[in-house]
Structure 1
Amino acid sequence: MKFFEELKRRNVIKETIAYIVVAWVFLQVTTMVLTIFEAPSWVSKTLTFLIAMGLPVWIFFSWAYQVTPEGFKKTEKISEDQVITAASNKRLDILIVISLMVAIAISFINKGDSKSTNVVASSEVIIENSIAVLPFLDMSPNKDQEYLSDGIAEEILNRLCKFKELKVMAMTSSFSFKNKNEDIRTIGKILNASLILEGSVRKNEDTIMISVRLTNTENGNILLSESYSDDIHNIFGLQSNISIDIAKKIDAKLSLNGNKLLNRKKINPMAYETYLKGRSQFINGPLNMNEGEIFRAKNYFESAVQQDTTFVEAYAYLALTYYNLADWALDRDEKSKIKIALDSAEILAKRALFLDSLSSGAHLAMGSFYFHQYNWLEAEKAKRKAVELNPGGTEEKFILASFLGQFGQVDEALRLDEEALKLDPLDVNSKIKYARDLYRARQYDKGIEQCNLILKEEPNSIGALQFQYLCYSGKKQFQEAGKTWAKILELKGENKFAEIYKTFEYKTAIKKALLYINDSISLGVIHPIEMSMFYAELEDKDKTFKYLNLAYENRLPQISYLSQHQFDFIRDDPSYLDLYKKAGFKAYYENKR
């Protein structure tokens, strides 16, 4: 008891509390500053260690010395009945109160930041059994086989995705570290991956050698370091063997359904190389409106199937490419070309499924086929099958989520998006897809917030601006919607239309823009769904139905946009109900029950 009283007399307890509170505030502020300047993690760890080591020194100092009006004095030299604590107590009380107020303010700031953080960044915990496959090094003498080394890394990544218990980081995020001299542990922390796979590829005539190294990102231990070689005709079998070896090193319990990786089908090496060049160009969907990429991808995939008529993946991706051509790369007035593209896509999708019913790519292609036939139920089944066959694939998850978001199954759609984003945290297009499905779920505030996060990374992202615009429109914040649409038009080079939206109120601007379109531009070039949405914003029933029916008559898959908010004002109209039935929506929902 006497010892405790002495601690109070010497202010040891209060000075210790003051030290802890001030140290905590200092560390919080320092951490925020270090994060802004992207300082390495060892800096903050070193500061924390030094402050922790300083605590016992401070306690000793508090016991041995007191602050008096005459300066520092040893406590033992101050009379016990001298009142030495009053002034010190007052100063310490003020210091602790101020520090606590700062601490509360910092807590609120951090809380606000955490709310506005992208779903991807919400977890800094390394995911168990998670692996990132880095781009493999090109070890060819002329360094001209980069597409091959990248493609082999991607194919091994795709095979690892088939293990249900393994979380595989998507290629777009993993490959963002290409040609960057980043430490393995740093990459692991950024991607939340517990394992990193590196490799190199050397091709010598018809022989290929693949060297791989699997590293634990937390302790730096190398789990696998091996070289594999085989005839390049057996490249798929070689990649499967590597993937199985990797899975065994990670966890003996990792399972495959039906040993899907054991297909050792021989392949034409020229077809494989050509296919890889096509995959480097392929983009599934209109988030990046670069038409040149889709045409180049088409040429490569066509060459691949000519070189090997049993190459399933080439058929599947050529089918998807043709659907992309028909949906957004060809002008609407090129009807004969669109028909050829759709007919070709159907033949190719069915051919891919016939060759391999366990190919997720073949089922994605068939999903697009059914989607264009307005057979929504079979489209959903095919897309779900693709996810089942490739449970770790982000592309499959996003495609299924897009479908579900349009057909009212928004909770599952967003869950799939969030799963995919955890595996692809650095890809901007993936974040845009999540914003798209937030819009479709009518979570407009979250959609706007997500778009703002994307625009901090890429201020001129048309995809992010597009869904930000739609979210503003859904909230009926028409002034913001008009400004955002004007920026989109500027980025597209349509300055005349952009000026209209800058000058006039939103709905007035739509009217003036529509007058210009009708007077000056071929209706074959303008997409009927876009026209119907503009007229829906004006609540012009006749024109809205005119273009919706035009979309239906031309069997445009974008008829699925009927669930969007613009068409709320006509949902009880008999013409809408008739279109809803003709386009297969009524049958779809009845069969879903």
Structure 2
Amino acid sequence: HEPIRARRIGIFTRGRKWLWRNPTTTALVTAIVALGAVVGVMFLERESIHPSEIPAKSIAVLPFLDLSQAKDQEHFCDGISEEILNGLAKVDGLRVVGRTSSFSFKGKNATVSEVGKQLNVANVLEGSVRREGSRVRITAELTNTRNGFHLWSETYERELQGVFAVQDEITRSIVNALKVKLAVSLPVHEQRNTEAYELYLQGLYFSNKSSGEDLRRALNFFQGALEKDPTFSRAWTGIAKVWYFLADVYVKPLEAYPASKEAALKAIALDEKDAEAHCYLSEAKRVLDWDLAGADAELKRALQLDPNSAPAHFFSALLPLFRGELKEGLRLVLEAEKLDPVSPITSYVATAAYLANDEIDDAISEGQRTLQLDPNYFYLDSDLAAAYREKGKFAEAIALYTKAQEATHLPSSGLAITYTRMGREMEARNILAQLVQARAKRYVSAPLIAAVSTALGDKEDAFRWLELAYEEHSGVLQWIAFLPEFRALHSDARFPHLLQRITASQDTILKITETTLSEITDPKAQRHVTLKVGVRPRPGTPNGHAVRIVVSFYDLTKDNKMMPTDAQVGYHWLTSATGWAEAAPRFLEATYVRPKTQTLSAGARRYGGFIVRAYFDGQLQDSRASPPDLLTLFPTEDQLTSPQNASPGR
């Protein structure tokens, strides 16, 4: 139901995950791996974020207390609470507050009335767990937040194997007490392997933390659960979640997102009604395929299965922003905030959305609220600092950026941008150099560096880093569509072209899905490489049109200038070149061979790179290059190395 904690996002630092992972700048959110701990509850001076009448059919599930003698069952208590929350989220007409907000009260001495006011709910479920060996005692109590009336309470004493049935019983009892109905029937919890379930709950516990070490511990627990029970679909969902949170921050995107996608697909194959798995599959489609339409379809399915899914609402709110629909994006982010009212990440992105709409005062207000929720939530950088910068309050911005820099242990791109605005170019360039140096030691999202280059007026360098982000499938790249830090690039013809490539517009008929270069051992050649090119047509593409794939190879001369190659080039199709109406990728292999007979001389050349372009009826649809700046050096095609039938008007 609520797989995403306050973890990653930094307005333009990451974006969601973009926000949670790479600590670097305040403008590129990267996903949602909060750089701090669980959000602590803060009773704000304001009564609530969006004051409104408390809906009678609303509930928050607080984390159950561990009453075990050894006090070593926190993971078990949290897991039971989260499983019950997931079940209630499927109840038709019941508003269920997201996990991040509900669990923010963990360890606090808040009264039920205070919880109700803070989360805008009429009911609160509390409970406790006492576990001794294989015996479990679970007590649950449902209380009305307005009058303190106990609507229902029950105590269950069972063997561990009976815990699944207890979760369902509690859910049904709450449904009956609140006089609501189930939107879908609860799944029948078959008798699962209790060892697998124990490992799963431990994985769930660590997956809700933010450090790379904890996330990898979670991965080990989930994998252990699957060794005990390979059909345990929720363990696969847990693996998808962990890889999602590792991506962009601790692991390169192309290492993490494919693993997340594979796990999500396995979870869905075992249980198609797993809304959370659809959320992670959505993210994989967005980042790996640049497929916003495909991502949107997965999120719609997730919301159909779980109307209260906070992450599904959150991710859905980001899609309009990626398409440049700023007003709609802000509206949906604020709607998502109602479902998770004390989630720092949602508040963080709301600040970014206000900034994108040039509503600076509202951005400052929302950013201040984020700090109240979690004073150490920078995700990568401080978006409140970005708002202060836009307001001209440079001293306040510098103070926050400095604090964020200390928390994230990464040079702040937001600070560099602020220095640039103040005319302190040398200090900005020092930070830029530090970011580039840091990238040599750890993964740093390329758009963060591009943002600084943009501020310094170096468009060529900015586009070089953005093209690298494209090649790396940076999870935060699509945020350039609305972040103010990149507005200076909007007038450059390369900017809309890049946006088209990373948002899979409905007008785009062909997408390049793969460009894999491989070295071939060839005793007769100085250099022999093959380039595997994948191209996927849009679903429903009609036959009878001309498809043309252009592959251009380039050489470096002795003085390091790029030139179209004079080496031997060739091609062949790995799949059929006909039948483009099917939305399956087609693969072409191009070859580059420089024979040893071409001896080194003053004018000798060596392999330099490639450009791949895909055309439909003569219109450019997509392009890839390595190195990326080849697209700037050679804006038009030079050579055609695709087969004669690569233009199959068929």
Fold-level similarity (TM above 0.5): yes
Aligned equivalents of 1:154, 1:328: Cα separation in 2: 26
Partner of 1:212: 140
CA offsets 1:349-375 (integer angstroms, 9 cap, x no match) = 110111111111110121122012211
Q: Structure 1 residues 203 and 465, CA, compared in 2 at 3 Å: closer, same or farther?
A: same
Is the 2:274–2:302 contact (alpha carbons within 8 Å) kept by the matching residues of 1? yes
For the residue of structure 1 that corresponds to 2:48, the secondary structure is helix
1:566-577 equivalent positions in 2, closer than 5 A: 566-577=485-496
CA distance in 1, matches of 2:380, 2:364: 9
What is aligned with 1:319?
Answer: 240
Alignment-derived partner of residue 341 in structure 1: 256
Contact conserved, 1:363 with 1:382, CA < 8 A, in 2? yes
Residues 114-133 of structure 1, C-alpha deviations (whole Å, 9 max, x = no match): xx976934427433212222
Whether 2:278 is the aligned partner of 1:363: answer: yes
Work out whether 1:258 is the aligned partner of 2:184: yes
How far apart are 1:188 and its partner, in Å? 3.0
1:322 aligns to what SS in structure 2? helix
Query: Unaligned regions of 5+ residues in structure 2, if any?
Result: 1-43, 510-537, 539-650
Match of 2:429 in 1: 511
Whichever residue aligns with residue 212 of structure 2, its letter is E
**Alpha-carbon offset, residue 382 of structure 1:** 1.0
Which structure has more relative contact order (CA 8 Å, sep 6+)? It is 2
Change over 3 Å in CA distance of 1:538–1:340 after alignment to 2? closer
8 Å contact kept, 1:478–1:506? no
Partner of residue 422 from structure 1, selected from 294, 318, 338 = 338
Q: Which residue of 2 aligns with 1:23?
A: none
8 A Cα contact 2:47 2:118, kept in partner: no
Which of 56, 68, 75 is the matching residue for 1:128?
56
What SS does the corresponding residue of 2:234 show, helix, strand or coil?
helix
* 1:357 aligned counterpart, secondary structure: coil
Residue from 474, 477, 485 that aligns with 1:559: 477
1:144 equivalent in alignment to 2:72 = yes
Shift of 1:471: 3.2
Q: What residue is the counterpart of 2:151 in the other structure?
A: 223
Q: Which residue of 2 aligns with 1:529?
A: 447
Matching of residues 122-521 of structure 1 within 5 Å: 122-123=50-51, 125-203=53-131, 205-206=133-134, 208-228=136-156, 232-233=160-161, 235-251=163-179, 254-259=180-185, 261-283=186-208, 290-330=211-251, 339-372=254-287, 373-456=289-372, 458-463=374-379, 466-472=382-388, 481-482=397-398, 484-493=400-409, 505-515=423-433, 517=435
Q: Following TM superposition, by how much is the alpha carbon of 1:578 offset from its aligned partner in structure 2, in angstroms?
A: 3.0
- Measure, in 2, the Cα distance between the counterparts of 1:499 and 1:249: 53
**Paired residue type of 2:270:** L
Instruction: Compute the displacement of 1:550 (Å).
Output: 1.0
Q: Relative to 1, partners in 2 of residues 1:588 and 1:224: Cα closer, same or farther, differing over 3 Å?
A: farther
Q: 1:248 to 1:410 in 2, by over 3 A?
A: farther
CA contact (8 A) 2:348 2:367 kept: yes
TM-score, L = length of structure 2: 0.63
The equivalences for 1:43-58 within 5 A come to: none
Tell me whether 358-367 or 118-127 shows the greater mean CA deviation. 118-127
CA gap of 1:484–1:241, structure 2 versus 1, over 3 A, is same
Task: Tell me how far apart the structure 1 counterparts of residues 124 and 453 of structure 2 sit (CA, whole Å).
Answer: 52
Asked if the contact 1:124/1:189 (under 8 Å) is kept, the reply is no
Using the TM superposition, give the Cα deviation of residue 385 of structure 1 relative to its aligned residue in structure 2, in angstroms.
2.0
Q: Going by fraction, where is helix more abundant, 1 or 2?
A: 1
Structure 2: how far apart are the matches of 1:474 and 1:316?
Answer: 40
The answer to whether the 8 Å contact 1:223/1:249 transfers is: yes
Q: Which residue of 2 aligns with 1:578?
A: 497
String of CA shifts for 1:3-31, please: whole Å, max 9, x gaps. xxxxxxxxxxxxxxxxxxxxxxxxxxxxx
Confirm or deny: 8 A CA contact 2:415 2:428 kept in the other structure: no
Distance 1:582 1:205, change over 3 A: same
TM-score (norm 1): 0.69
The sequence identity of aligned pairs, in percent, is 29
Q: Structure 2 vs 1, CA of residues 162 and 360 (structure 1 numbering), >3 Å: closer, same or farther?
A: same
Cα 1:469/1:130, change in 2 over 3 Å = same
Instruction: Please state how far the C-alpha of 1:447 moved relative to its aligned partner.
Output: 1.4
SS of the residue 2:181 aligns to: coil
Deviates more, 1:557-566 or 1:425-434: 425-434
- Distance verdict in 2 for CA 1:257–1:279, change over 3 Å: same
Give 5+ residue unaligned stretches, structure 1. Answer: 1-115, 333-337
SS of the aligned residue for 2:230 comes to coil
- Contact 2:89–2:309 (CA<8 Å) still a contact in 1? yes
Go from structure 1 to structure 2 and tell me whether the alpha carbon gap of 1:354 and 1:188 turns closer, same or farther (over 3 Å shift): same
What SS does the corresponding residue of 1:374 show, helix, strand or coil?
coil
Assess, with a 3 A threshold, how the Cα gap between structure 1 residues 353 and 561 changes in structure 2: closer, same or farther.
same
CA distance in 1, matches of 2:159, 2:312: 31
Partners of 1:437 and 1:499 in 2: CA distance: 20
C-alpha RMSD of the superposition: 3.5
- Rounded to whole Å, the distance in 2 between the matches of 1:474 and 1:519 is 28
In structure 2, relative to structure 1, the CA distance for the partners of 1:491 and 1:143 (3 Å cut) is closer
Paired letter, 1:316: T
Paired position in structure 2 for 1:35: none
**1:546 partnered with 2:461:** no
Q: Distance in 1 between matches of 2:168 and 2:427?
A: 57
d(CA) in 2 for partners of 1:393, 1:153: 16
Name which one, 1 or 2, has greater alpha-carbon Rg: 1
SS at match of 2:192: coil
More strand by share: 2
1:412, distance to aligned residue in structure 2 (A)? 4.4
Q: Which amino acid aligns with 1:218?
A: R
